[in-house]
Every structure is written in structure tokens, then in C-alpha cells.
Amino acid sequence: MATIGIFDSGSGGLSVLKEMLKVLPGERYIYYSDNANCPYGEKTAEFICERAESICSMLIEKGAEIIVVACNTATAAAIASLRKRFAIPFVGMEPAVKPAALGTRSGVIGVLATDGTLKASKYLNTKDRFSGGVRIEEHVGRGFVELVESLELDGKRARGVVEASLLPLLEAGADVIVLGCTHYPFLLPLMESIAKERGYEVRFIDPAPAVSRHLVEVAAERGISSADPNPGVILLSSGPKESLERLYRSIL
């Protein structure tokens, strides 16, 4: 593999880049944060498709040979049209409904994601195929993306915002919760502490490690050769870069 493009509506995709760097440390990554247009969660699918196409054209011009859509919302809205329009391989996010359904003991799983992801046919199909008789409780992580973009990962206000979306899932009996938005893993320590304090035993599933393993397989299948002569990470964004750079330093 030589150059890998990766994009998200903001800094959330860094939670995926973190896992990619573990399995493929010697590559050249170009990360694009579309933070001038963040959040994507409540934008139309047409808008997200247009942004995704123009970001991918730019990443390909800069040499990307494979692109990871490190955003559940953009995967749901745009990956099919990206695959039609561009000849390079794309790897997208999949809400981890299947492993959650296999792992639950209570028979209830929770899914935290954006409104766009939860309403998309891609998610609805995954749910139909893999939920296997378990009950799925869903909640939009309202305000989570804004917390991560402003690096507010703890404190009283962040706790209140996270509790409002997490507690309904815990109260409904979910013992496995899928993180269906790439921003949410940055709030995992806070979510774990809220659950523990209230006496809930719950496991959170972040699909990023599985997506990174899939990236390795896709690259190998397509014969994209490994190890770039200029490894490293280039960070680009459509808006201010400071919080992106700070969050990036925290994943290293």
C-alpha cells in the first residue's frame, strides 16, 4: 500500500486512523476533516454525497490509492455512489450489530449513532440481517459530535450530554452497546464511568479494529503493495485545524 486516504465530517475518523496505524504503521495517510460542514448527522444524503465526492477527488489527486470512509453517516449516504464513480477501492464503516447480537446475554443491544445513520437503508438492512432475534434499542448521541470537536471529553456538561443518550439504553436493559459513529469512541471513558457509577455491566463495541483488519484484506486482494517510502500522516481540513491536531496527538 502506498497512500491511504481517510475522511470524516470532523475529528471522529481519528478513532479509526488510530486502529489503522496499529495494523499498517508504515504507510502514508492523508486525513481530511470536513469540519467546516460538521456535523453530517442531520444533513441530507445528497449534501453528504456531494461533499464525499469532492473530498475523494481531492484525495485521489493527492495520490490516495484506497480510501477509508471513516464516518458511519457518510458510509451510509455515499459509499455506493463513491464506488460507482471512482475506480479505487473504498472501505466503509459498518455498525457492529452482528457481534453485539452474538455477545448479548440480556437479549437487548443498544446502538448509538447519528440520525442519518439510523435512518439509512444500509443500517436498516444490517439490522434485519444480523440482529438474530435480539431487541435493538437505538439512540442518537445528541451533542456527542460537538463535544468531541470542541475537545470537551469530560466534565459536568459533557457528562450531562452523554447521560441523556446513554441512560435510556442502559435502562432498557442493553448489555452491549454499539458505537455507531466514529466520534463516540473519544467519549468511551466517560460512558464507561457513567455506566459503572450507576451499577450497569455493559460492553461497548467500537467497529474500528474490525474495519482496519478489513482494510488490510482489501489492500492485499487488490494487490496494493505495502510500505510507502514516505510514511506518515498528513492532516487536512476544511475549517480550523487546531482541535484536529490536538486530538491527533492524543491517539499516538
Residues with a catalytic annotation lie at 71, 181
Cα dihedral 230→233→236→237 (10° resolution): 170
In sign, the C-alpha dihedral spanning 104, 110, 113, 118 is positive
CB of 108 to ligand DGL, least distance (A): 23
Contact with ligand DGL (CB under 6 A) among 2, 21, 24, 38: 38
Please identify which residue in the block is written with the cell numbers 442519518. 116
Of 68-76, 101-109, 153-161, 197-205, which part binds ligand DGL (CB under 6 A)? 68-76
**Residue of the chain from 7, 29, 31, 40 that contacts ligand DGL (CB under 6 A):** 40
At 11 the three-state DSSP class reads coil
Q: Is 68 in the site for ligand DGL (CB under 6 A)?
A: no
CB 181 within 8 A of CB 70: no
* Closer to ligand DGL by Cβ: residue 41 or 110: 41
Binding region for ligand DGL (CB under 6 A) out of 34-42, 61-69, 101-109, 156-164: 34-42
Residue 134 carries which DSSP code? Answer: -
Dig out the grid coordinates for 191 from the structure: 460512558
Exactly one of 33, 104, 114, 237 binds ligand DGL (CB under 6 A); that residue is 114
Neighbours of 246 (CB within 10 A): 11
Binding site for ligand DGL (CB under 6 A): 8-10, 12, 38-41, 71-73, 114, 117, 145, 181-183
